[in-house]
Amino acid sequence: MDFQLTEEHLMIQKAARDFAVNELLPGVIERDEHQKFPAEQIKKLGELGFLGMMVSPKYGGAGLDAISYVLAMEEISKVDASASVVMSVNNSLVCWGLETFGTEEQKQKYLVPLASGQIIGAFMLSEPEAGSDATSQRTIAEDKGDHYLLNGTKNWITNGNSASVYLVMAQTHPEKGSKGINALIVEKNMPGVTIGAKENKLGIRGSDTHSVMFQDVKVPKENRIGEDGFGFKFAMKTLAGGRIGIASQALGIASGAFELALKYSKERKAFGKEISQHQAIQFKLADMATRIEASRLLCFKAALDKDHHRDYTLSSSMAKVFSSETAMWVTTEAVQVHGGYGYVKEYHVERLMRDAKITQIYEGTSEVQRIVISRSILS
Ligand code: CAA
The burial class, CB within 10 Å (0-12 / 13-18 / 19+), for 336 is: middle
Question: Residue 155 C-alpha to ligand 1 middle, in angstroms?
Answer: 17
**What is the Cα–Cα distance from 121 to 229, expressed in whole angstroms?**
22
**What is the Cα–Cα distance from 158 to 374, expressed in whole angstroms?**
28
Query: What is the maximum alpha-carbon separation in the chain?
Result: 78
HSE (CB half, 13 Å, CA atoms) of 335? Answer: 16
Pocket test for ligand 1, best of 178, 306, 320 (most atoms within 8 A of CB): 178
Segments of 199-296 assigned E as strands: 209-220, 224-225, 269-270, 273-274
Say if residue 3's pLDDT is above 90.
no
Asked if 318 and 298 count as a contact pair (C-beta separation under 8 A), the reply is: yes
Residue 168 pLDDT level (bands cut at 50, 70, 90)? very high
**What is the Cα–Cα distance from 160 to 81, expressed in whole angstroms?**
17
Pocket test for ligand 1, best of 129, 212, 236, 372 (most atoms within 8 A of CB): 236
Scanning 2-47, the segments in alpha helix (DSSP H) are 7-19, 28-34, 39-47
**What is the Cα–Cα distance from 353 to 333, expressed in whole angstroms?**
9
Average pLDDT rounded to a whole number, residues 147-158: 97
Average per-residue pLDDT in the chain?
Answer: 97
H or E stretch including 288?
helix 279-307
Question: Residue 236 C-alpha to ligand 1 middle, in angstroms?
Answer: 4
**What is the Cα–Cα distance from 312 to 372, expressed in whole angstroms?**
11
**What is the Cα–Cα distance from 101 to 122, expressed in whole angstroms?**
16
Q: What is the pLDDT of residues 240-280, one digit of tens each?
A: 999 999 999 999 999 999 999 999 999 999 999 999 999 99
Q: What is the pLDDT of residues 282-333, one digit of tens each?
A: 999 999 999 999 999 999 999 999 999 999 999 999 999 999 999 999 999 9
Percent of the chain with pLDDT over 70: 100
Tell me whether residue 363 is one of the annotated catalytic residues: yes
Q: What is the pLDDT of residues 18-29, one digit of tens each?
A: 999 999 999 999
**What is the Cα–Cα distance from 81 to 14, expressed in whole angstroms?**
18
The pLDDT score that the predictor gives to residue 1 is 80
What is the identity of the amino acid at 263? K
Cα 333–Cα 336–Cα 342 angle in degrees, nearest 5: 115
> Which DSSP category does 323 fall into?
H
Q: What is the pLDDT of residues 133-143, one digit of tens each?
A: 989 999 999 99
Asked if 55 and 99 count as a contact pair (C-beta separation under 8 A), the reply is: yes
What is the identity of the amino acid at 186? V
Q: Which residues surround ligand 1 with Cβ inside 6 Å? A: 85, 89, 123, 125-126, 132, 134-135, 158, 178, 232-233, 236-237, 239-240, 313, 362-364, 368, 371-372
**What is the Cα–Cα distance from 3 to 138, expressed in whole angstroms?**
45
What's the chain's length in residues? 379
23, 75, 325, 363: which is the annotated catalytic residue? Answer: 363
The pLDDT score that the predictor gives to residue 2 is 82
- Buried-state track 133-165, b at ≥16 Cβ within 10 A, e below 16: ebeebebebeeeeebbbbbbbbbbbbbbbbbbb
Residue nearest to atom 12 of ligand 1 (CA): 233
- Buried-state track 274-293, b at ≥16 Cβ within 10 A, e below 16: ebbeeeebeebbeebeebbe
Q: pTM of the entire structure?
A: 0.97
